Structure 1
């Protein structure tokens, strides 16, 4: 596990729950000062109270002005060295029932949420000639899944953005990578399980098996496994790793 001095400031979007909270907690345990960003103040305060973060700032990642203001508030406390752009959302529907508004929602949160956060931190990072940006994408950014065409399109866009930005800043000391989890045991996946149960009448165990079958290991990924990959990418041992999209998915990709 990477060890960071307390002077290292990490900001995790969507850090109040799920994978984001696991990443934030792992960074705290590794010694970093951690700020979590999200829409729900109660969730952020709970993460701070539980020791999974030191500070919380409220913003909607789909809103550029909101993100810029919140990140400026966090950076005024301490310059941001590590950005984990984790916030995301998933909606499922057959393509013929996926209207332009659904596609726009998926792009606004999953792609533009990463773009807004990267814009807010990149200039100071390049001026200091050091920094890490890690986007939490998905295996849906590396392959297709039925009934989530808008989500897959947005996550593929995140991976393309990461690859392009990594080249643009490669000589600056800043690395840009994506982590692509498969189906992970979070509340977001719990919503998918509820939908499967409602539509098919299957039990929760059967619904879990429906998602786990995509993973050759036959299980859901643990949030801590995603967090460990992020920690490595943020550490000194990954200084030469940039522009990558690393699947954490039991061999699915």
Structure 2
């Protein structure tokens, strides 16, 4: 199960597991992007909003061995320009959505299951103009570390993947925001966005998917409560 499977990291993860001949279900608020992720790969698409408690509970009427809470949102803006509505929406999607997903998944998850949250390097540090996003991802990491203790005796693991800027629509929005606020062209704005990454480029979605495959593998059975940074050395 991959939430937010209609684009970006979620799409890459879903396709990576499907390529390993796993039975994959993806969720999202819009059906068309989910179907584009599938494109004949045999992926099951479920139109579900992760902030809808009843819909999430119904989704997990059947158990899943691996559950990846990927659905998220974020916008760069000074804190003084963040409305209460935007603050609440960011925490609701990123943090409450992960809580609802994990809570429902834990009820029937079989022994040896895997819970994985897609967090961010911003779960491990702070930064200007991303207060709402960083706060939500810090919360996700706290949730992961606590859940790891609850499920350990069931031989289930709970971990977070913390990518830096990944080549996704969300990152492109960040680039456009920098262009608008700093008066830079696209190349200069992209350079600024990835300036904290020693490698000097955006991370590819497939590189995050590879981390998810590892955490879901038998070889990661003793990796629990961990924040796996995929950031080129940023963290």
Task: Give the structure-1-normalised TM-score.
Answer: 0.90
User: What RMSD, in angstroms, separates the aligned Cα atoms of the two structures?
Assistant: 1.2
Is 1:71–2:60 an aligned residue pair? yes
Q: CA deviation at 1:84?
A: 0.5
Q: Give, in whole Å, the separation in 2 of the partners of 1:234 and 1:226.
A: 13
Q: Which of the residues 124, 128, 132 maps onto 2:108? A: 124
1:147 maps to 2:129: yes
1:97 has 2:81 as partner:
yes
Query: Of residues 11, 20, 26 in structure 1, which corresponds to 2:10?
Result: 20
Q: Does residue 1:177 correspond to 2:159, yes or no?
A: yes
Count how many residue pairs are aligned between Structure 1 and Structure 2.
Answer: 235
Instruction: Tell me which residue corresponds to 2:168.
Output: 186
Distance (whole Å) between structure 1 residues aligned to residue 58 and residue 153 of structure 2? 28
Tell me, which stretches of 5 or more residues in structure 1 are unaligned? Answer: 1-10
Q: Does 1:240 align with 2:222?
A: yes
> Hey, what does 1:214 align to over in structure 2?
196
Q: Distance in 2 between matches of 1:64 and 1:25?
A: 26
The CA deviation string for residues 5-35 of structure 1, in whole angstroms up to 9 with x for no partner, is xxxxxx0000110000000011011121101
* Correspondence for 2:178 among 180, 188, 196: 196
Q: More deviation in 230-239 or 57-66?
A: 57-66
Runs of 4+ in 1 over 6 A off after TM superposition: none
Q: Which residue of 2 aligns with 1:3?
A: none
Segments of structure 2 that go 5 or more residues without pairing to the other structure are none
Matched residues in 2 for 1:41 and 1:115: separation?
A: 23
CA offset digits 1:97-147 (Å, max 9, x no partner): 22332221111000011111111111111xx32210000000010001101
